[in-house]
Amino acid sequence: VWGYSYGFFVNEYLLATEDHTFDRMYLGGGRLDMQEAIWRPFSEGKVTQVEEDGQTVLDAVESPSGTSIPKLAAGIAHLRFTDELKDKDLDKNKILFYFGAKDQQVGGPSKAEIDFLKSKDAYYILREDIGHDFKQGDRQTIMDFVLSRD
C-alpha cells in the first residue's frame, strides 16, 4: 500500500482503524499530529505553506485545485495519530514512514512524533535536507522495501 501526501493521511487512518492485511505500507509526505494551524484552514478548503524551517506556518490561501481535497484531508488530519496508533503494532518489517524536515506542505515532524515512532520501534526515515518530496537516493530504498517479500 503506497500513501504519499493525502495518501499518508488515508494510510495512517487505515493503520488506526483496520486490521493489517497488507504486505507492506509506505507513508510519505504527511504528519502523525498535524498542526492545527494547517488542518483548520484545510477544513475550510484553504491551504497553507510552511517556511523552510518546517515549522512556521504561513497564512492560509484559497486552494488552487478546489476545496475538496483539503477538506477531505482535514477530516483525517485533525486526529492525533500518536494517540490513535498507541496500541497498534507498527511493524518495522511492514511499515515505512518517510519525512522531510523542511516539508513546505504539512511541516516537518515534531520531536514528539519522532519520539513516538522510536518508542514503537517503527521504521522511519527523516531527511533534514528535503521538503515534501523524495530525496533522490531514497527512491530505490523505498521501492525495495515496498516490493520486498518475506
Q: So what's the pLDDT on residue 134?
A: 77
- Residue bearing cell 506556518: 57
Q: So what's the pLDDT on residue 26?
A: 94
Q: So what's the pLDDT on residue 53?
A: 86
Contacts for 104 with CB less than 8 Å, ≥ 6 apart: 49, 50, 51, 52, 54, 131, 132
Stretch 114-123: mean pLDDT: 97
How far, in Å, CA of 105 to CA of 34, rounded? 11
Q: How confident is the model at residue 65 (pLDDT cuts 50, 70, 90)?
A: confident
Stretch 49-74: mean pLDDT: 89
How far, in Å, CA of 114 to CA of 126, rounded? 9
Stretch 50-65: mean pLDDT: 88
Burial 26-42 (b: 16+ CB within 10 A, else e): bbbbbbbbbbebbbbbb
Give me the percent of the chain exceeding a pLDDT of 70.
99
User: What are the beta bridge partners of residue 3?
Assistant: 27
Q: How confident is the model at residue 136 (pLDDT cuts 50, 70, 90)?
A: confident
- Judge whether residue 100 has pLDDT over 70: yes
Sign of the Cα torsion 61, 63, 64, 70 reads positive
* pTM exceeds 0.75: yes
CA distances from 85 to 20, 64, 143 (A): 13, 32, 24
Q: So what's the pLDDT on residue 150?
A: 63
Stretch 81-85: mean pLDDT: 97
Q: Which amino acid is at 48?
A: T
Q: So what's the pLDDT on residue 20?
A: 84
**Average pLDDT of the chain to the nearest whole number:** 91
Stretch 116-145: mean pLDDT: 89
